[in-house]
Amino acid sequence: MRVISGTARGSRLETLDGLSTRPTIDRVKEGIFSSVQFLIPGAKVLDLFAGSGQMGIESLSRGALSCTFVDSNPRAADIVKKNLKTCNLFDKSRVVNMPAQEFLSFAKDSFDLVFLDPPYNMGILDEILEKVSAITASGGIIMAESELEWQPKDNIPGLVQVKRFKYGKVAVTKFIKE
């Protein structure tokens, strides 16, 4: 896995061994970033369920102001820190090692761009979206990666679904905060 563009372009990122995380493949990552490229410069980013941190690191490499990485797995948090240091982006970041729901219950910051990639088939994405909506800036974007079968609820308070991308067995749904 590598950083596609920006100041850290070409940097190789480490991932956790095993099946506990599922890195976003380059084709999906390229599609996501082509959809949000004009929002990134100067943005405050949240990478929830960060895993290796690749989505937030890609954002920082492309000019995001800052990124908060959240993952409940301590080994994932360590990998994110290591990847940030490798890419010389550690000073623009904050790594939080706790469950996403817990982070969202006390988060006070407002984010311009949020990446969500929770474990598939756990049925938590709708609940997470409602909580993330509360900390997303007006006009901000949420990119939610999911299994293809997941369909978002029709009325998530404050969010409008604007696009859904399909990549094999993976779907990425783009929401904008009203």
CATH topology of domain 26-177: Rossmann fold (3.40.50)
With the CA atoms of 65, 57, 132 and 118 taken in that order, what torsion angle do they form, in degrees rounded to the nearest 10? 180
CB atoms within 10 A of CB 38: 7
pLDDT for 21? 55
- Distance in angstroms (rounded) separating the CA atoms of residues 178 and 57: 26
The pLDDT tens digits for 48-91 are 999 999 999 999 999 999 999 999 999 999 999 999 999 999 99
Quote the pLDDT of residue 114.
98
The DSSP bridge partners found for residue 13 are none
Closest to 151 (Cα-Cα) out of 129, 176, 177:
129
Average model confidence (pLDDT) for the chain?
91
The region of weakest confidence among 12-26, 87-101, 106-120, 147-161 is 12-26
- Domain layout of the chain by residue ranges: 26-177
Going by pLDDT thresholds of 50, 70 and 90, the confidence category of residue 122 is confident
Choose from 4-13, 137-146, 152-161 the range with maximum mean pLDDT: 137-146
Cα separation of 74 and 93, whole Å? Answer: 17
Under the banding of pLDDT at 50, 70 and 90, the label for residue 19 is very low
pTM for this model (two decimals): 0.93
Exposure b/e, 76-103, CB count within 10 A at least 16 = b:
bbebbbebbebbebbebbebbbeebeeb
* Long-range pairs of 19-23 with CB within 8 A, sequence gap ≥ 24: 20/73, 20/76, 21/51, 21/52, 21/73, 21/76, 22/51, 22/117, 22/119, 22/120, 23/51, 23/52, 23/54
